[in-house]
Structure 1
Amino acid sequence: MAKQHHPLDRYLKHAGRSRRELAVEVGVTEASLSRIVNRKQNASLALVGRIVAATDGSVTFDDFLTTSPSRETVA
């Protein structure tokens, strides 16, 4: 089964933005954002809201819904 890329990763590639740049804008570390994109960590509702705003809605709340539990959540 092929690995599905997180919609946030697709947005970053299309927009020509880096994870580091977005992480700074939304107030988390690049490492935390990478764990979220790789689905190893969940984002808090507040952080998802900041990401949605920073991407002008190109990435939505629904993009962060997951069917498997995460190890930790980032605020």
Structure 2
Amino acid sequence: MPTPNLVYSENQDLITVGAAASALRSSRQSIYNWVKRGALPHVNVYGRIMIDPQVIPDFRMKLEVRDALGCGGRK
């Protein structure tokens, strides 16, 4: 059983930028860019950018559609 996060107990379901990058098979810099553009929803928790893991599947699908259409800057 995971230990509760006592500092961010109300946000224990949020993941870090690194975890989001792994889940999206992308770089941390891409996550920061998407957050800055407002494309990837996030929560600022005491100065840390945290991502709700529930948005990852939909965001991944949007990336796959974008790549299939040849849009975007991924190489």
TM-score computed with the length of structure 1 as normaliser: 0.37
TM-score (norm: length of structure 2):
0.37
